[in-house]
Amino acid sequence: MDTFPSILVVLLAALATVTVSMGAAALRARQLDKVAVVDVAWGLGFVAVALVAALVGFAADDADGRRWVVLVLVAVWGGRLGWHVRSRALGEHAGQEDPRYAEMLGGSLSEVGLGTAVRRVFAVQGVVQWFVALPVAVGAVVGTAYVPTVVLGVLVWAVGFSFETIGDRQLAAYKARPKDERLPVMDTGLWAWTRHPNYFGDACMWWGLWLAAGLGSGWVVGLATIACPAAMTFFIRNVTGAKLLEKTMSQRPGWDEYAARVPLFFPRPPTLGG
């Protein structure tokens, strides 16, 4: 396989895939008057990129099965995420915008216009999506260099997926209880280990994918793409995820005691009696 041309082709194919995915999401958002549609496109867009990259890699060299392993990992994560957020993003109350996006836009989609939404949300998330997916895309056209690193990546991904899915399930069970029968702050299960097990799990999965698809392709690809999971972790923890959510969560009774006892992001076992 001629590696450099294959990398260029897969990067362009990934960019085209992201453009189509975010473009379709923007059109759907205009129909529903709700920018939160992008949350569904976020997970499913990664699946599309991984699929296109795997097909590009297969066309160049069908001998390396690692690309299909990575595709399955991305598809399981992205498919579950898209299904999980679908009701919030595409629910019957479609005109009620997610407060995060209302703040980003300075109003509803109908008020600011589709062009503003594309510039501030869809284009930005599309660029980030393409960048974060670089290890997956490049790994699909570069042969496997370190098999143990690929195995380690799958294990790290599995830990992250467990944190995300179990954390989401525990949170859904908590919300399903009547408000007068539950504590103001959930502090049981994984939520006693970290205040954001789902976000930690998400970041952990991307480090697993980097190990399997990036570093597993060799140290050059690994070093060239290590900023991708690092950037994802930074944004999940500090910008669009944990800390943003805590701006509203911190208003709940008992939050200060909970925050003093349970770490923000990286989990640790609950203290005895805590």
**173, 210 contact by CB (below 8 A):** no
User: Which among 3, 4, 38 has a CA at the least distance from the CA of 21?
Assistant: 38
Rounded to 5°, angle at Cα 189 from 183 and 195: 75
Entry pTM: 0.89
Q: In whole angstroms, what is the distance from residue 196 CA to residue 240 CA?
A: 13
Distance CA 237, CA 126 (A): 19
Distance in angstroms (rounded) separating the CA atoms of residues 160 and 257: 26
What is the C-alpha separation between 195 and 192, in angstroms, rounded? 7
274 residues of the chain, pLDDT tens digit each: 457 778 999 999 999 999 999 999 999 888 888 888 888 999 999 999 999 999 999 887 767 899 999 999 999 999 998 888 877 666 655 457 777 777 777 777 878 888 888 888 899 999 999 999 999 999 999 989 999 999 999 999 999 999 999 999 999 899 888 887 888 888 889 999 999 999 999 999 999 999 999 999 999 999 999 999 999 999 899 887 788 788 778 888 888 888 888 999 999 988 754 4
Residue 5 CB: number of other CB atoms within 10 A?
Answer: 11
